[in-house]
Structure 1
Amino acid sequence: MKQNIFDIKTEEDFRLACVETFLYQYKNVEVYRKFVDYLNINPSSINQVLDIPFLPIEMFKNHLVLDKNAVTENYFQSSGTTQMNRSKHYIADFSLYEESIYKSFEQFIGKPEDYIFLGLLPNYSENPHSSLIYMIDFLIKKSNKPENGYFLYNHQELFDLLQTISDKKVILFGVSFALLDFLDTLESLNISISESQNLTVIETGGMKGRKEEMTKDELLKIFQNGFKTDKIYSEYSMTELLSQAYSLGENIYKSPNWMRILIRNTEDPFSYVDDGKTGAINIIDLANKHSCSFIATQDLGNVQDDTFQVLGRIDHSDIRGCSLLVS
């Protein structure tokens, strides 16, 4: 590509990068080319972002979505049971993912080197094909703090550690049900975390089928009370992406300059709704250079100016993601 996606500054930069990426992927990603051709779209007619066709995310379950110039056996796989048809996202260039992780985290949270990273998640060796675990493992390596670690199965050790490092900047990553399980353990032991301005909790979703459903606002309030901090953040990504959006509260997300959320009409998938209206989420992720950067998801949400909300799943879509990470 002519332009480094991480240098995008303006809307025109973004438009040009999108059109360039579209043309490259139309030429080099077979399943995407067939999809565009099936829609009877002339690729040379595409010159605006809203004209670009979005590949249904289900294609990652049944097709190889990969640049023909890339040779790789490395992939991320969506969480799930052995009975489920799980998505595979083949990764031709891990350095692109790592740069996306670093720059997005730095933009919204801070420099990884300044934090201790703790995970209520399985470790990398238990889940080598999880994009989320790869991300946290990468941040842990960048941080290089002796206290870093995973504590999914050891709540008492995590509690003791949090008490001893309350004077240091700490990020606790966790899927939602694992964070709730940890707080339930503390309640059963009749102990509580000391209040700390240095603790930031980042929940990564994952409730479906694991615990009683609740709204995101209810969940964040429970975490604020249980972890004794207002810094309850959220991260939004998925197996089929190489970029992350972050919410610093109230379920309001922002994405980095090389990632964009569009809201399509659920009744007409080739049209878009107005700002503030709920629809299905389309994602542009220009870090997906060697797969597909234009993905139509099964998530519901809305966009307001440069922020967006995630409001759940389209009815009848598969249970996906983090809630099945430790099945």
Structure 2
Amino acid sequence: MPQRSIFDITTDAQFEEAALESFRFQFENNSTYRSFCDLLYKHPSEITKSKDIPFLPIQFFKSHTILTSGSEPSVVFSSSGTTGSITSKHHVADLSLYEDSFRHAFAKAYGNPKDYVILALLPSYLERTGSSLIYMVDDLIKTSNHPDSGFYLNNLDELAKKLNSLDKSGQKVLLIGVSFALLDLVESHRFNLKNTIIMETGGMKGRRKELVREELHKILCNGFGVSSIHSEYGMTELLSQGYSNGNGIFTTPPWMKIYTRDTEDALSLLEGTKTGGLNVIDLANRFSCPFIATQDLGRVYKDGSFTVIGRFDNSDIRGCNLMSL
């Protein structure tokens, strides 16, 4: 399946075909992933379902250059981290594939960016380089082509004035913000928004005490005067995003799928809606690795939607230390 055809996927059968083709491509062209599969004695001839594909522990993005042979990175995205910590690096060979992925995913979830004023409150991301989130949001802001769309750093008074003014005018607004900054905003200003979507990207980034999702969303709902808080599920190591329009239930675009694995046996997937580690297939990761075992804990439902409950306490995924990191 040609790489752009993933955005035409509409059925489970098409996804399975594309995932298995991608697995064969990775096995033949990604030396790190091939070594991982060899240690598990997994070969494409034995894999007939996407759920049986080996998932590479996400820590490998910290210790290895995950890139298929013959590919050269056009950009390297990096994760945020505390001082002295090792950050993940995602070597992206085809930047246009990332752009196609987030543009298609956003359109499926929210429609045309031109219908919104898009405001971004992402100080922890703006204060460093290499953020894939900033790249995506900047593109959406430019696509919205509205003079009021833009980024805000510490100018909360200006943002509050803009939000209230736009909302009262009936303009559809999307405010994308990191959790701690949204809390700062509602603590210093009050809102009663009718035409605005609030989307949190998660994480306190060491600026505040971590809150469970229910508590965070309750505070934000009260502060902004909205009935629900939207969320974005993405990470440096992925080129696709899941979105939630409330209650922490995420859906994915058709070229992305989530599974849960046993927390005691990282190589075994769970059936039903049991809590487990989240494994992700992101077919947009064509030239890095589409099959990733994350450090997130959650549940996956019958319709493919999922929730994120938290993260593993330990830094390494149990059962996956088969290769030296």
TM-score range, shorter chain: over 0.9
Cα distance in 1 between the residues matched to 2:267 and 2:127: 40
The corresponding residue for 1:114 is: 115
Deviation at 1:316, TM superposition (A): 2.0
Deviation at 1:218, TM superposition (A): 1.2
The corresponding residue for 2:65 is: 64
Would the alpha carbon gap of residues 2 and 111 (structure 1) be closer, same or farther in structure 2, given more than 3 Å must change?
A: same
SS of the counterpart of 2:231?
strand
Deviation at 1:116, TM superposition (A): 0.7
Provide the identity percentage. 50
CA distances 1:189-233 after superposition (whole Å, capped 9, x unpaired): xxx22x232110100001253323322011111111111112410
2:237 pairs with one of 230, 240, 244: 240
SS of the counterpart of 1:165?
helix
Would the alpha carbon gap of residues 266 and 291 (structure 1) be closer, same or farther in structure 2, given more than 3 Å must change?
A: same
The corresponding residue for 2:99 is: 98
Cα distance in 1 between the residues matched to 2:98 and 2:228: 26
Cα distance in 2 between the residues matched to 1:228 and 1:244: 26
Cα distance in 1 between the residues matched to 2:141 and 2:211: 31
1:307 pairs with one of 305, 308, 312: 305
Pair 1:260-2:260 in alignment: no
Pair 1:216-2:219 in alignment: no
Deviation at 1:42, TM superposition (A): 2.0
**Which AA in structure 1 matches 2:61?**
F
**Which AA in structure 2 matches 1:245?**
G
Instruction: Calculate the TM-score normalised by the size of structure 1.
Output: 0.92
Cα distance in 2 between the residues matched to 1:274 and 1:73: 39
Deviation at 1:184, TM superposition (A): 1.8
The corresponding residue for 1:131 is: 132
Deviation at 1:148, TM superposition (A): 1.0
Aligned pairs, how many?
Answer: 312
2:271 pairs with one of 264, 267, 274: 274
Cα distance in 2 between the residues matched to 1:123 and 1:84: 16
Q: Is the 8 A contact 2:164 2:193 kept in 1?
A: no
Tell me, which stretches of 5 or more residues in structure 2 are unaligned?
Answer: 317-325
Would the alpha carbon gap of residues 71 and 25 (structure 1) be closer, same or farther in structure 2, given more than 3 Å must change?
A: same
**Which AA in structure 2 matches 1:47?**
T
The corresponding residue for 2:315 is: 317
SS of the counterpart of 2:310?
strand
Q: Is the 8 A contact 1:123 1:150 kept in 2?
A: no
4+ residue runs over 4 A deviation: 123-126
Pair 1:182-2:180 in alignment: no
**Which AA in structure 2 matches 1:314?**
F
Q: Is the 8 A contact 2:272 2:301 kept in 1?
A: yes
Cα distance in 2 between the residues matched to 1:196 and 1:219: 18
Deviation at 1:294, TM superposition (A): 0.2
